[in-house]
Amino acid sequence: MHAWLSQLLGRVSAKSELAQAIGYSLTRWRALTRYCDDGRIEMDNNAAERALRGVALGRGNYLFMGSDSGGERAAAIYSLVQTAKLNGLDPEAYLREVLGRIAEHPIHRIEELLPWNLTVIGTGHVEQRLAA
């Protein structure tokens, strides 16, 4: 592909967008093909892009919450959802469990309901982690 791009570059107008794209690729060829030499390197960054998509969408949505307190509440829920994901929990199962328990749960033990204190059992069910 490198040889083909080099040859093609000589046949297109130097000021064209195609020539700019080819030049960009050729000047970064080593970085573009590094994944071929090291199997630990991903060919693309799609996983990182997908992980950040929710952040980007949320950032735009928080502008239209109606009030500062509404935005703060949305940010708190978003933080809980992301923290549940980071702790290996299904966010929907986690929120379902917490909302089902919270009305009767003692306020002085609220930290028991934080994502890192719960664990997934079976198919998405959440239960209290045993103290170490």
Where does residue 41 fall: left (phi above 0), alpha (psi -120 to 50 degrees), or beta otherwise?
Answer: beta
The stretch 60-71 carries a mean pLDDT of 72
Nearest to 120 by CA among 83, 92, 94, 82: 94
Per-residue pLDDT, 63: 67
Higher pLDDT, 113 or 47: 113
Nearest to 99 by CA among 119, 74, 126: 126
Show Cβ contacts of residue 10 under 8 Å, excluding neighbours closer than 6 positions: none
Alpha carbon distance 125, 17 (integer Å): 53
Average pLDDT, the chain: 83
Q: What is the pLDDT of residues 79-126, one digit of tens each?
A: 888 888 888 888 888 898 889 888 999 999 988 888 888 876 545 556
pTM: 0.48
